[in-house]
Chain A
């Protein structure tokens, strides 16, 4: 079920590290405003694919097109400026800076201000800073960040840091948001809030691409799921279709091991009923 036109198109993308082909001929696309999950066993190349799309790795082959423009191998900053925002698997916030300043990072490319404005505090400077401050608070409200926003980020609990990272990415006002395991380390309640948050983000018309191991969350939120194994796409479809796809179960567990396969089926069943246990494959 795809809606809107194609926003991101990844074609035959590959990247390798010292002989290990992390991504090996990956092809998939993301449509405007959809919620898409990328799943796969550990080492399937999900994060590497994210890094290639966002410019942190240079793909050795293939192309990435965003909104009709070729962004293959461009600098991360250029790609970010073109409308793709991301979060990182192990939170990458600016630890010494305040919550507000962290979120302002997302607005950097939109604030119009030059050296002279900053040095002379021109009206344009104040206009820019005031709008930025207001918008910062709005995004923090949006993600439900209730702590003191003038404290250093490193003093916040983990779950709040996750929220701030998403707020920072949203402040970039992206057309597509890549979330790399946003539920990792969150408790039950926080996961429910995350689920709600992702739906509200999608409601803003932002396409959400999610890497996540919590199958319950994935099945609940995704409109479409792409399954990777060994750096390739092995399945693509609705959650229901993916759940019953034998190739997927095979990829996760290999065919030999009876016991773990039974485990996988149990997990799949549980995921179907929105199980919240984090599944470590």
Chain B
């Protein structure tokens, strides 16, 4: 068993999970909503990139510059859609029972999946961009340049997000709202706008991951967000849901676990392994690696 190879592929998969998990965790942290449709926003991002590529394939050419350009367009589109989703489906229910909001999120997920299935047909689409492949050898393991580049993009986005949340005014507003939305409202923070912005950023990150997945795997379909949504949630829980650095940590841990688990148990058991781990984690340490114990007051 080539352990270094397993580590590298674990890190690669983990960086995808991280981009999706971040949005999950951000939204949860700020309005305590499990956005089931988050994985589908990742799928939507892949399709947004697909549309851009299909329309402007000639003008853009191939290569990473094109990929990044497409990614930016897809991020804006997905982010915008995330905002719309919050505005239309979640905001009217902000003071409704938790169950109603969860069910709405399931409905949104369903509508997104089958909306795409209606628009593009249920069969997978071939992504019309491939990334040129060269391979970098490290000791006895290898990693493609495409993988490296995508990891670099993912890391850049994560660092950017971390900076936004820690350094900017709206980042401060986000952290404040996650502590106490009512107090923020009273202090004159435009809570609605900050929540919208959170949805935009979270969805845009998922969209970026979608485009990367499309370019890397070469195929996209309307259900591609389902499993990754579950995985991203698992990553967020492992790291401590609501904690952004935790989400990245959890995603890397999950990527590595899957990589090793898949190698030792057989790749067909990878998903089962990951979900069993989720259940185990919730039993043993529901607050996650970096989460704090919270006493809920009566």
Chain A 28-58, CB-CB to B under 8 Å as 1, else 0, gives 0000000000000000000100010000110
CB contacts (< 8 Å) of B297 on chain A: these are 17
CB contacts (< 8 Å) of B2 on chain A: these are none
Complex Cα spacing A57 to B295, Å: 8
B97 to chain A, nearest CB (A): 9
Complex Cα spacing A51 to B295, Å: 12
Verify B298–A17 contact, CB threshold 8 A.
Answer: no
Verify B295–A88 contact, CB threshold 8 A.
Answer: no
Q: Which residue of B lies closest to A48 (CB)?
A: B297
Complex Cα spacing A47 to B295, Å: 15
CB contacts (< 8 Å) of A17 on chain B: these are 295, 297
CB contacts (< 8 Å) of B295 on chain A: these are 17, 57
Q: Among residues 279 to 298 in chain B, which have CB atoms less than 8 Å away from a CB atom of chain A?
A: 295, 297-298
Pair count A-B, CB < 8 A? 8
Q: Among residues 117 to 147 in chain A, which have CB atoms less than 8 Å away from a CB atom of chain B?
A: none
B152 to chain A, nearest CB (A): 39
A60 to chain B, nearest CB (A): 11
Complex Cα spacing A177 to B297, Å: 21
A113 to chain B, nearest CB (A): 27
CB contacts (< 8 Å) of A88 on chain B: these are 298
Q: Which residue of A lies closest to B292 (CB)?
A: A18
A81 to chain B, nearest CB (A): 18
CB contacts (< 8 Å) of B298 on chain A: these are 47, 51, 56-57, 88
Chain A 1-23, CB-CB to B under 8 Å as 1, else 0, gives 00000000000000001000000
Complex Cα spacing A214 to B11, Å: 63
Complex Cα spacing A127 to B295, Å: 42
Q: Which residue of B lies closest to A47 (CB)?
A: B298
Q: Which residue of B lies closest to A50 (CB)?
A: B298
Complex Cα spacing A57 to B297, Å: 8
Complex Cα spacing A56 to B297, Å: 8
B127 to chain A, nearest CB (A): 49
Complex Cα spacing A276 to B288, Å: 51
Complex Cα spacing A169 to B295, Å: 25
Q: Which residue of A lies closest to B298 (CB)?
A: A56
Chain B 257-298, CB-CB to A under 8 Å as 1, else 0, gives 000000000000000000000000000000000000001011
A49 to chain B, nearest CB (A): 12
Complex Cα spacing A211 to B280, Å: 43
Complex Cα spacing A88 to B298, Å: 9
Complex Cα spacing A88 to B297, Å: 12
Complex Cα spacing A17 to B295, Å: 8
B13 to chain A, nearest CB (A): 37
Complex Cα spacing A145 to B293, Å: 42
A160 to chain B, nearest CB (A): 23
Complex Cα spacing A47 to B298, Å: 9
Q: Which residue of B lies closest to A57 (CB)?
A: B295
B95 to chain A, nearest CB (A): 13
B159 to chain A, nearest CB (A): 30
CB contacts (< 8 Å) of A51 on chain B: these are 298
Q: Which residue of A lies closest to B295 (CB)?
A: A17
CB contacts (< 8 Å) of A57 on chain B: these are 295, 298
Complex Cα spacing A56 to B295, Å: 10
Q: Among residues 149 to 188 in chain A, which have CB atoms less than 8 Å away from a CB atom of chain B?
A: none
A91 to chain B, nearest CB (A): 12
Complex Cα spacing A57 to B298, Å: 9
Q: Which residue of A lies closest to B296 (CB)?
A: A56
Q: Which residue of B lies closest to A95 (CB)?
A: B97
Q: Which residue of B lies closest to A86 (CB)?
A: B298
Q: Which residue of B lies closest to A51 (CB)?
A: B298
Q: Which residue of B lies closest to A15 (CB)?
A: B295
Complex Cα spacing A51 to B298, Å: 8
A173 to chain B, nearest CB (A): 23
Complex Cα spacing A98 to B49, Å: 53
CB contacts (< 8 Å) of A56 on chain B: these are 298
Complex Cα spacing A17 to B296, Å: 10
Q: Among residues 36 to 93 in chain A, which have CB atoms less than 8 Å away from a CB atom of chain B?
A: 47, 51, 56-57, 88
B182 to chain A, nearest CB (A): 14
B284 to chain A, nearest CB (A): 20
Complex Cα spacing A17 to B298, Å: 13
Q: Among residues 22 to 59 in chain B, which have CB atoms less than 8 Å away from a CB atom of chain A?
A: none
Complex Cα spacing A88 to B295, Å: 18
B287 to chain A, nearest CB (A): 15
B58 to chain A, nearest CB (A): 59
A-B interface, 8 closest residue pairs, ranked by CB to CB distance from nearest = A56-B298, A51-B298, A17-B295, A88-B298, A57-B295, A17-B297, A57-B298, A47-B298
Additional A-B contacts beyond A47-B298, A51-B298 (6; CB < 8 A): A17-B295, A17-B297, A56-B298, A57-B295, A57-B298, A88-B298
A-B contact pairs, 8 of them (CB 8 A): A17-B295, A17-B297, A47-B298, A51-B298, A56-B298, A57-B295, A57-B298, A88-B298
